[in-house]
Amino acid sequence: MKLGTLKNGTRDGKLVVVSRDLRRAVHARPIVSTMQDAIENWAEVELPLRALYDALNAGTVPNAFDFDPVAAAAPLPRAYQWCDGSAFLNHGRLMEKAFGIAPVSDFETVPLMYQGASDDFLGPRDDVPLPSEAHGIDFEGEYAILVDDVPMGCAAGQAASHIKLLLQVNDVSLRAFTPVEMKKGFGFLHAKPSSSFAPVAVTPDELGSAWREGRVHLPLNVRWNGEWFGHPNGGEMNFSFPQLIAHAAATRRLRAGTVIGSGTVSNADPRVGSACIAERRALELLEQGKPLTGFMRFGDTVRMEVLDASGRGVFGAIDQTVVPALP
């Protein structure tokens, strides 16, 4: 099943069911009105939403309409909580080696995770407004999950049942702030502006065999200003999403609507490219003695898209432009 949110002038938008080919949609009402309502009442609304999804794909829904990703908000436009991990250890190792970052203790056994801003997620075609090019504007391609209520102390073995939807993210980063905030040791704030999401969230069964071991085994295709940048595969995720859930829930409950990110998708083979500029710069520094690639400028575009084995879009595409924030 694929679900999206259309903008309607409210903060939470209106939930729609989107066809498998991402071409058609139908309003989810009267079953449920918003994504937050859906995730909070998943046990009651899942089967009716799936029945509507099946009818939409069969072409038997009379009030279906064309799905326009330009009109889409993030599938969950604002969330009570956004916990972003760093589950691809290759990315962390590259950053440490290239930029002389001190190794994190328990790096290979305990996931890294921070809490990001979740009150203002951006839609897939929204511009990304930022204060200054001097802040080191970067994109970061990630996968994410949306969970229902998770009890405190939930073990990884039980956590998979709480994963209701999968998402794809551009976790925008401002690299000039990153080292400063890391040294302060109190988490990211200025370094992490609003994140952007692909048009639809999908239930794990939509991925078929590409969803296994709590990981998305599909490449995340990234293009910067129309040029190929990378297609790293989510299957190399060292910590699974159930492990990330267990880590986040170790000392507190996670309420329905919590979003948990994988961190930058990163593969050991450099030939697949990267999902963020910082990683390419790290590779350049290690291979050529200095970083050669600059960060994003105003007017630059980034496109991120995940295709299944048949070449069909899974989440729809993030396709957006970085612009100066209005005063």
Q: To 5 degrees, how large is the angle CA 181–CA 296–CA 321? A: 110
Report the sign of the C-alpha dihedral through residues 60, 61, 63, 65, in that order: negative
Tens of pLDDT, residue by residue over 211-244, are: 999 999 999 999 999 999 999 999 999 999 999 9
- Say if CB 200 and CB 18 are below 8 A apart: yes
What is the pLDDT at residue 106?
85
3-class SS at 56? Answer: helix
pLDDT value, residue 103: 76
Residue in 137, 161, 139, 135 with CA at minimum distance from that of residue 150: 161
Flag whether the pTM goes above 0.85: yes
* Burial grade of 82 (CB within 10 A; 0-12, 13-18, 19 or more): buried
Ranges of the chain with pLDDT below 70: none
- pLDDT value, residue 186: 87
Instruction: Give the burial class of 227: count Cβ atoms within 10 A of its Cβ; 0-12 exposed, 13-18 middle, 19 or more buried.
Output: exposed
Which DSSP symbol is given to 297? -
| Residue among 57, 21, 24 nearest 312 (CA) | 21
Rounded Cα–Cα distance for residues 15 and 12 (Å): 9
DSSP 8-state code for residue 19: -
What is the DSSP-derived secondary structure letter of residue 217? -
Contact 106, 221 (CB under 8 A): no
Domains in the chain (CATH in brackets) are: 2-71 (no CATH), 82-324 (3.90.850.10)
Burial 105-144 (b: 16+ CB within 10 A, else e): eeeeeebbbbebebeebbbbbbebebeebebbbbbbbbbb
Q: Residue 105: what pLDDT?
A: 80
Quick one: the chain helix, strand, coil %, rounded to 5? 25, 30, 45
Residues 6+ apart with CB under 8 A from 60: none
